[in-house]
Structure formats: structure tokens, C-alpha cells
């Protein structure tokens, strides 16, 4: 999985993957949108191949590349776990903050001021 995230860490390689989502491309076609040599494009393609994100096939004199989506699905599953983890944590925090807001007399929050942006008054009977 480290190789997948390494490969996805470069904007050029991400764009190459987007292009390959539309179908097979030659190395030259993948390099075309960028100001780079075929040798530089080939280095990017090798990083994508090492991550298992693309497969290169030689047909005559042409090197055709195609997307291999399997490793992307694995990365998506890994990220989805953390998306659920943080969504659950933030939902719990939101519920806690709403419960605290609902318990104050003036409707404002002790931590962020009232809804109109003014600082809340101290609760009645307090020395604050």
C-alpha cells in the first residue's frame, strides 16, 4: 500500500491515472499533456507500475498502458475506515457541543459566544 500512496502523491501520476480511466494510452499519449520527455514520462509510469496501478504491454513498437484498479480499491477501503472513524468522532463532538449549548440559559455557547456573534453574559448568580 505504501507504493500506491507514493504513486498517488505526485500530481503528474494522478493525471496519468485519470487519463487511463478513459482507456488505454501509449507512453507518448500519457506524456503529451505535460512538458516532459518520454524518458521522464517513463519514470512516472514505472512508479505507477511498481504500485500495481497500471499494466504496460508492448505491441510492436508501441508501449500501451492501461489502468489496473485493484490497488486503488484497496487504498479506498483503507481511507474509508478512517473516514468513518473521524465522521463518528466529529458527530459525537457535535452532539456533545449541541447538548452543552442546549443547557445554557442564554442559548449561546460558553466557548464561542452567542449565535449573533456577541460574547455571552455570565450566567445569573455567578461571579464571573
- All three cell numbers of 124, joined, read 445569573
Domain that holds residue 10: 2-68
Mean pLDDT of 107-118: 49
Q: Is residue 33 part of a domain?
A: yes
* Residues with Cβ within 8 Å of residue 56, at least 6 apart in sequence: 27, 45, 49, 63, 64, 65
Task: Say what the pTM is.
Answer: 0.65
Q: Does 38 lie in the same domain as 85?
A: no
Q: Who has greater pLDDT, 109 or 12?
A: 12
Percentage of the chain exceeding pLDDT 70: 80
Distances (CA, A) of 42 to 2, 24, 69, 116, 128: 20, 15, 20, 57, 68
Q: Does 58 lie in the same domain as 78?
A: no
Amino acid at each position: 500500500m505504501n507504493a500506491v500512496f507514493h504513486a498517488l502523491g505526485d500530481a503528474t501520476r494522478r493525471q496519468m491515472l485519470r487519463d487511463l480511466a478513459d482507456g488505454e494510452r501509449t507512453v507518448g499519449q500519457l506524456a503529451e499533456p505535460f512538458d516532459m520527455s518520454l524518458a521522464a514520462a517513463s519514470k512516472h509510469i514505472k512508479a505507477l507500475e511498481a504500485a500495481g496501478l497500471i499494466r504496460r504491454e508492448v505491441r510492436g513498437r508501441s508501449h500501451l498502458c492501461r489502468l489496473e484498479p485493484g490497488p486503488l480499491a484497496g487504498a479506498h477501503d483503507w481511507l474509508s475506515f478512517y473516514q468513518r472513524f473521524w465522521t463518528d468522532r466529529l458527530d459525537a463532538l457535535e452532539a456533545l457541543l449541541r447538548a452543552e449549548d442546549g443547557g445554557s440559559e442564554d442559548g449561546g455557547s460558553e466557548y464561542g459566544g452567542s449565535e449573533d456573534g456577541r460574547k455571552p453574559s455570565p450566567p445569573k448568580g455567578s461571579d464571573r
